[in-house]
Chains A and B, each alone.
Chain A
Amino acid sequence: MSARVHSQRRGWAGVFWLLLGLLVFVAVSVYAESANPALRRIFSLRDYNTRVVMGGTGLLGVACGVIGTFMVLRKKALLGDAISHATLPGIAIAFLVMVAAGGTGKYLPGLLIGAAVAGVVGMGTIILIRHHTRLPEDAILGIVLSIFFGAGVAILGVIQKMSTASAAGLETFIYGKTASMLAADGQRIAWAAFILIGVSLLLFKEFRAVCFDSGFTRAQGWPVRTLDAVMMGMVVTATVIGLQAVGLILVIALLIIPPSAARFWTEELRVLVWLAAGMGAFSGVVGSGLSAAFPDLPAGGVIVLVAASVFIVSLLFGRSRGLIFRAMARYRLEQRITRQNALRALFEASEHMPAGQPVTETALREIRYWRGMQLRRALNRLVRGDLVTRVPDGWRLTPDGQEEAQRMVRNHRLWELYLIHHAAVAPSHVDRDADLIEHVLGHDMVKELEALLAAATPEPPVPVSPHPIAPAAGKGRV
Chain B
Amino acid sequence: MILPWKMSGLPAGPEHSPYAPVSIHDVTVAYQRKPVLWDVDLDLPEGKLVGVIGPNGAGKSTLIKAILGLVPTASGEVKFYGGTLRKHRALVGYVPQRESVDWDFPVSALDVVAMGLYRRIGWFRRIRRAHYEEAMKALARVGMDSLALRQISQLSGGQQQRVFIARALLQDAQIYFMDEPLVGVDAATEQVIIALLRELRDAGRTVVVVHHDLQSVAEYFDHVIMLNTRVVAAGPTSEAFTQENLLKTYGGRLTLLDEAAHAVARAVHR
Tell whether A pairs with B. yes
Where the two chains meet, the residues of A that have a C-beta atom closer than 8 Å to any C-beta of B are 1, 3-4, 7, 73, 75, 134, 202-203, 205-206, 208-209, 211-213, 215-222, 263, 266-269, 272, 422-424, 444
Contact A215 B127 (CB under 8 A): no
Which single member of B69, B110, B115, B188 contacts A422 (CB below 8 Å)?
B188
Complex Cα distance, B171 from A75, in Å, reads 27
Complex Cα distance, B72 from A218, in Å, reads 13
Further pairs besides A219-B68, A269-B111: 6, Cβ < 8 Å: A7-B149, A206-B118, A212-B102, A220-B171, A221-B90, A222-B119
Contact B115 A202 (CB under 8 A): no
Contact B115 A267 (CB under 8 A): no
Contact A272 B106 (CB under 8 A): yes
Nearest-neighbour CB distance to chain B for A443, whole angstroms, equals 10
Nearest-neighbour CB distance to chain A for B119, whole angstroms, equals 5
Complex Cα distance, B106 from A244, in Å, reads 33
Which single member of B65, B94, B107, B188 contacts A208 (CB below 8 Å)?
B107
Instruction: Please name the 7 residue pairs, one residue from A and one from B, whose CB atoms are nearest each other, closest first.
Output: A3-B149, A267-B151, A219-B94, A221-B89, A4-B149, A220-B119, A219-B68
Complex Cα distance, B149 from A268, in Å, reads 10
- A268 in contact with B102 given A219-B92, A221-B119 (CB within 8 Å): no
**Cβ contacts B71-112/A at 8 Å (1 or 0 each):** 000000000000000100110101010001110011110111
B102 cross-chain contacts in A, Cβ below 8 A? 75, 212
Nearest-neighbour CB distance to chain B for A128, whole angstroms, equals 16
Can you give 29 A-B contacts (C-beta < 8 A)?
A: A3-B149, A4-B110, A4-B149, A202-B124, A203-B124, A205-B121, A205-B127, A208-B115, A209-B115, A211-B105, A212-B101, A212-B102, A213-B101, A215-B70, A215-B96, A215-B100, A216-B167, A217-B118, A220-B94, A221-B86, A221-B89, A221-B119, A222-B118, A222-B119, A267-B151, A268-B107, A268-B151, A269-B105, A269-B111
B65 cross-chain contacts in A, Cβ below 8 A? 215
For residue B268, CB closer than 8 A to chain A, the reply is no
Complex Cα distance, B124 from A205, in Å, reads 7
Contact B100 A212 (CB under 8 A): no
Nearest-neighbour CB distance to chain A for B98, whole angstroms, equals 11
Count the A-B residue pairs with Cβ separation under 8 angstroms: how many?
91
Contact B187 A422 (CB under 8 A): yes
For residue B186, CB closer than 8 A to chain A, the reply is yes
A219 cross-chain contacts in B, Cβ below 8 A? 68-70, 92, 94, 96
Complex Cα distance, B118 from A401, in Å, reads 52
Contact B106 A266 (CB under 8 A): yes
Which single member of B118, B121, B123, B150 contacts A3 (CB below 8 Å)?
B150
Complex Cα distance, B164 from A415, in Å, reads 26
Complex Cα distance, B95 from A442, in Å, reads 29
A215 cross-chain contacts in B, Cβ below 8 A? 65, 70, 94, 96, 100
B69 cross-chain contacts in A, Cβ below 8 A? 218-219
For residue B255, CB closer than 8 A to chain A, the reply is no
Nearest-neighbour CB distance to chain B for A226, whole angstroms, equals 11
Residues of B in contact, count (CB < 8 Å): 40
For residue B253, CB closer than 8 A to chain A, the reply is no
Which of chain B's residues has its CB closest to A224's CB?
A: B70
B126 cross-chain contacts in A, Cβ below 8 A? 205
- A7 in contact with B151 given A222-B118, A422-B187, A424-B187 (CB within 8 Å): yes
B146 cross-chain contacts in A, Cβ below 8 A? 444
Complex Cα distance, B68 from A151, in Å, reads 42
A75 cross-chain contacts in B, Cβ below 8 A? 102
Nearest-neighbour CB distance to chain A for B150, whole angstroms, equals 7
Contact B106 A216 (CB under 8 A): no
**Cβ contacts B133-156/A at 8 Å (1 or 0 each):** 000000000000010111100000
B167 cross-chain contacts in A, Cβ below 8 A? 216
Contact B115 A4 (CB under 8 A): no
A216 cross-chain contacts in B, Cβ below 8 A? 94, 96, 115, 167
For residue B56, CB closer than 8 A to chain A, the reply is no
Contact B107 A269 (CB under 8 A): yes
Which of chain A's residues has its CB closest to B86's CB?
A: A221
Contact A220 B187 (CB under 8 A): no
Complex Cα distance, B108 from A206, in Å, reads 16
Which single member of A212, A267, A423 contacts B112 (CB below 8 Å)?
A212
A209 cross-chain contacts in B, Cβ below 8 A? 115, 118
CB interface residues, B 169-213, toward A, < 8 Å? 171, 186-188
Nearest-neighbour CB distance to chain A for B124, whole angstroms, equals 5
A7 cross-chain contacts in B, Cβ below 8 A? 108, 149, 151
Nearest-neighbour CB distance to chain B for A214, whole angstroms, equals 9
Complex Cα distance, B151 from A206, in Å, reads 19
B112 cross-chain contacts in A, Cβ below 8 A? 212-213
Which of chain B's residues has its CB closest to A421's CB?
A: B187
Which of chain B's residues has its CB closest to A2's CB?
A: B149
Contact A4 B108 (CB under 8 A): yes
Nearest-neighbour CB distance to chain B for A221, whole angstroms, equals 4
Contact B186 A423 (CB under 8 A): yes
Q: Which of A1, A203, A215, A218 has the most CB of B within 10 A?
A: A215
A203 cross-chain contacts in B, Cβ below 8 A? 124
Q: Which of A134, A205, A217, A424 has the most CB of B within 10 A?
A: A205
Contact A205 B118 (CB under 8 A): yes
Which of chain B's residues has its CB closest to A215's CB?
A: B96
Q: Which of A206, A219, A272 has the most CB of B within 10 A?
A: A219
Complex Cα distance, B65 from A128, in Å, reads 23
Which single member of B96, B119, B124, B188 contacts A213 (CB below 8 Å)?
B96
Contact A218 B70 (CB under 8 A): yes
Which single member of B70, B94, B123 contacts A206 (CB below 8 Å)?
B123
Nearest-neighbour CB distance to chain A for B108, whole angstroms, equals 7
Nearest-neighbour CB distance to chain B for A211, whole angstroms, equals 7
A269 cross-chain contacts in B, Cβ below 8 A? 105-107, 111
B149 cross-chain contacts in A, Cβ below 8 A? 1, 3-4, 7
Complex Cα distance, B96 from A212, in Å, reads 12
Complex Cα distance, B66 from A218, in Å, reads 12
Which single member of A134, A212, A266, A424 contacts B105 (CB below 8 Å)?
A212
Complex Cα distance, B151 from A348, in Å, reads 37
Complex Cα distance, B112 from A423, in Å, reads 28
Contact A212 B107 (CB under 8 A): yes
Complex Cα distance, B123 from A426, in Å, reads 51
Complex Cα distance, B122 from A203, in Å, reads 11
